[in-house]
Amino acid sequence: MNAVILLGAPGSGKGTQAARLAESLGMPHISTGAILRQAVTDGTELGVAARDIMAAGRLVSDEIVLGIVEARVSAHDCRRGFILDGYPRNRAQARALGEVLSRLGATEWIANIAVPAEELAARVRGRRGTDGRQDDSEEAFRRRLEVYESESLPLLDYYGDRASNVSGLGSRDEVFGRLCAALPFATAQLVTQ
Ligand code: AP5
Ligand code: MG
């Protein structure tokens, strides 16, 4: 079982690339942000608890997101592997994920999509209005970036050599090519298809 973990700032292209990897590799794309947004839309208990936190650009509690991830990766369609987009986002989540993955006997493949802050802001600005994401407002985006820098960036130290750094600049195809090259199991699988 292969667990792909995509790290990167808000707007770096995690969702875009996770969807492409999922399609090419035939593995589910698991976005904690998308699952939470769906819960907000559906007005479930989870959605009600997460709505204001997300709109403000802050992190939902570790306990809640771990529950989501544990349930999702245990599903039958994840038996060959899965692509994680937006989890983990801090050291506590990374430790919890490590335990889940070792319990599942999964091999982890970690890639960090690196994009400069000016480009992140331009991308999210470009998306504003079309995606209807409340957290794309100037203020919420600024907060998401701050949270990323203080909480999620330290994951690069946490994972050290286990994480490959991939430039997220250039076209979507170029970034996808770099990611596949940084994920040896993915390259092998794509070649044999
Ligand atoms: P989440 O949904 O994960 O949002 P995010 O990390 O802030 O990132 P985005 O989804 O905005 O960006 P992305 O990296 O996916 O880039 P995308 O492909 O869209 O989380 C949202 C919220 O949920 C959090 O703030 C938090 O409240 C909560 N949450 C989620 N996970 C959590 C967790 N683990 N713990 C606690 N709370 C959690 O690309 C961005 C734009 O750029 C798009 O318009 C795209 O089309 C464009 N683009 C992509 N690639 C390129 C390219 N190469 N060139 C030009 N444009 C490009
Ligand atoms: Mg996303």
The per-residue pLDDT for range 86-129, each reduced to its tens digit, is: 999 999 999 999 999 999 999 999 999 999 999 999 999 999 97
Which residues have any ligand 1 atom within 6 Å of their CB?
Answer: 8, 10-16, 31-33, 36, 53-54, 57-60, 65, 86-87, 89, 93, 123, 126-127, 135, 144, 171-172, 175
Catalytic member of 20, 37, 144, 178: 144
| Residue 130 confidence class, pLDDT cut points 50, 70, 90 | confident
Catalytic member of 125, 127, 128, 162: 127
Active site residue 128: no
pLDDT digits (tens, 9 = 90+) for 41-60: 999 999 999 999 999 999 99
Alpha carbon dihedral 111, 80, 68, 53, in 10-degree steps, equals 30
Tokens representing residue 48 in the block:
């009600």
What is the atom index within ligand 1 of the atom nearest the CA of 33?
A: 2
| Strand, helix or coil for residue 167 | strand
CA of 20 to the centre of ligand 2 (A): 13
Q: How high does pLDDT run on average in the chain? A: 96
Contacts of 151 (CB under 8 A, 6+ apart): 59, 89, 90
CB 90 within 8 A of CB 59: yes
Pocket test for ligand 1, best of 7, 87, 123, 136 (most atoms within 8 A of CB): 123
